């Protein structure tokens, strides 16, 4: 089995979605490679249990110093230190790692989550170099993100893969009697996530119960300072990933009210190209979804089929959607459609197979010969 080294400058684990995505990808990649995750380790004790990891992969500690020139040098040292053989494969979400790795690795997968298209950034010129090299495969988290890159670069189709985010199966198979309809939100509380909209919905729908799980304490304090929180809305502190399925199960409806033009990850506005893990976790829990109607989300969510989509600037649309979903048959229909889409397209294993597709076919052909 060949080696695959997943390089990231992120601290693993942490409370952000990329921590889940990186660990789950390494877990799925371990089915096909001897996988090593190179990162800044932060208390990796019980990691397998906390993140429901199925396979064993090694985590190697390396700290990347985030200062302009030193950052590049530390990444170079990292690659030199952990490179094992000529047949190794590099996987990363970091453009710098991909560029440096080009000179050391046989094959490279660069997974892009943001548009590095400004000529004021070094990443733009590194991508400009990498698109000309056949050993690089580009993974885009949405078709909209690919289109953004196509406006700036000439990309070969056979080296571009669209692979939306994914989830493990979060379905809990047991019945529970509910006295009132509960609406759940799971994720961060920072700017653009639509928390104010949820608060307004709770004020209008007194006979619904609203639960919000996650976020950092300073974001929660900021929300409570700016808003009068009604009694039928409950904030629940961050939990380990392995506990998320219980939260999703305990809600009748799951909501994703991303704002238009103001969805932020750090300082980056992501509403035009995002592929939120939350959406796929909702689908995997077999719960009906009410989501914002962003064009990029429509790549996965279909209105009145596997979800109900609403304009995030129109409170009345959200009120109507939640009232419609008081109907148990409608909730069942929409949630089953979403769950089937998840099983058929959006598991971690299916994502990895899509990314590795050509290579896996080549291996199969060699075995058959």
Domains in the chain: how many in total? 2
Q: What is the pLDDT of residue 369?
A: 54
* Ramachandran region, residue 288 (left: φ > 0; alpha: ψ -120 to 50; beta: rest): beta
Q: What is the pLDDT of residue 361?
A: 64
Q: What is the pLDDT of residue 366?
A: 58
Three-state secondary structure call for residue 47: helix
In a shared domain, residues 193 and 237 = yes
Q: What is the pLDDT of residue 188?
A: 87
In a shared domain, residues 189 and 329 = yes
45: in domain: yes
300: in domain: yes
In a shared domain, residues 25 and 160 = yes
299: in domain: yes
In a shared domain, residues 252 and 125 = no
Three-state secondary structure call for residue 127: helix
Would you give the distance in Å from CA 248 to the centre of its chain? 17
173: in domain: no
Q: Which stretches of the chain drop beneath a pLDDT of 70?
A: 176-178, 261-268, 358-369
Q: What is the pLDDT of residue 360?
A: 60
The verdict on whether omega for the bond into residue 13 sits within 30 degrees of 0, i.e. cis, is yes
Q: Whose CA is closest to 179, among 230, 232, 229? A: 232
Measured CA to CA, the distance from residue 314 to residue 238 in angstroms comes to 29
Per-residue model confidence as pLDDT tens digits over 131-178: 999 999 999 999 999 999 999 999 999 999 999 999 999 999 877 666
Q: What is the pLDDT of residue 367?
A: 60
Q: Are 195 and 189 in contact (CB under 8 A)?
A: yes
Q: What is the pLDDT of residue 182?
A: 97
In a shared domain, residues 336 and 207 = yes
The HSE-up count of residue 127 (CA atoms within 13 Å, CB side) is 24
Q: What is the pLDDT of residue 262?
A: 53
Per-residue model confidence as pLDDT tens digits over 181-238: 999 999 988 878 899 999 999 999 999 999 999 988 888 888 888 888 999 999 999 8
User: Looking at the whole model, is its pTM more than 0.85?
Assistant: yes
In a shared domain, residues 116 and 190 = no
188: in domain: yes
46: in domain: yes
Q: What is the pLDDT of residue 190?
A: 80
In a shared domain, residues 45 and 128 = yes
Q: What is the pLDDT of residue 255?
A: 98
Measured CA to CA, the distance from residue 268 to residue 271 in angstroms comes to 9
In a shared domain, residues 138 and 234 = no
Q: What is the pLDDT of residue 264?
A: 47
Backbone angles phi, psi at 308, to 5 degrees: -120, 125
- CATH at residue 197: 3.40.50.2000
In a shared domain, residues 186 and 331 = yes
The structure tokens listed for 369 are: 């010969």
23: in domain: yes
Would you give the distance in Å from CA 31 to the centre of its chain? 20
Residue 308's domain comprises 181-345
In a shared domain, residues 212 and 360 = no
In a shared domain, residues 341 and 353 = no
In a shared domain, residues 351 and 339 = no
Torsion angle (degrees, nearest 10) of CA 315, 233, 17, 41: 160
172: in domain: no
What's the length of the chain?
369
């Amino acid at each position: 089995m060949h080696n695959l080294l997943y390089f990231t400058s992120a601290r693993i684990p942490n409370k952000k979605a990329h921590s889940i995505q990186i660990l789950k990808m390494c877990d799925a990649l371990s089915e096909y490679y001897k996988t090593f995750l190179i990162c800044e380790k932060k208390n990796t004790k019980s990691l397998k249990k906390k993140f429901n990891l199925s396979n064993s992969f090694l985590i190697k500690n390396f700290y990347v110093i985030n200062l302009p020139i030193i950052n590049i040098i530390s990444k170079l040292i990292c690659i030199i230190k952990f490179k094992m053989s000529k047949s190794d494969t590099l996987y990363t979400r970091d453009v710098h790692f991909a560029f440096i790795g080009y000179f050391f690795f046989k094959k490279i997968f660069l997974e892009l989550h943001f548009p590095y298209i400004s000529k004021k950034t070094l990443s733009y010129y590194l991508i400009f170099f990498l698109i000309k090299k056949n050993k690089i495969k580009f993974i885009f988290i949405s078709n909209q993100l690919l289109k953004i890159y196509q406006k700036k670069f000439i990309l070969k189709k056979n080296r571009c893969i669209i692979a939306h985010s994914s989830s493990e199966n979060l379905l809990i198979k047991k019945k529970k009697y509910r006295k009132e309809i509960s609406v759940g939100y799971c994720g961060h509380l920072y700017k653009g996530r639509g928390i104010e909209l949820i608060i307004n919905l709770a004020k209008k729908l007194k006979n619904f119960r609203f639960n919000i799980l996650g976020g950092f304490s300073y974001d929660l304090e900021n929300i409570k300072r700016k808003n009068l929180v009604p009694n039928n809305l409950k904030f629940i502190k961050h939990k380990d990933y392995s506990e998320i399925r219980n939260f999703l199960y305990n809600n009748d409806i799951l909501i994703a009210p991303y704002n238009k033009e103001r969805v932020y990850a750090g300082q980056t506005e992501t509403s035009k190209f995002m592929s939120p893990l939350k959406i796929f976790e909702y689908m995997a829990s077999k719960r009906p979804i009410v989501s914002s109607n962003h064009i990029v989300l429509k790549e996965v969510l279909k209105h009145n089929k596997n979800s109900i989509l609403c304009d995030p600037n129109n409170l009345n649309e959200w009120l109507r959607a939640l009232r419609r979903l008081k109907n148990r048959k409608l909730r069942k229909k929409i949630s089953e459609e979403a769950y089937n889409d998840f099983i058929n397209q959006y598991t971690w294993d299916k994502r990895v197979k899509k990314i590795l597709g050509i290579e896996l076919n080549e291996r199969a052909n060699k075995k058959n010969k």
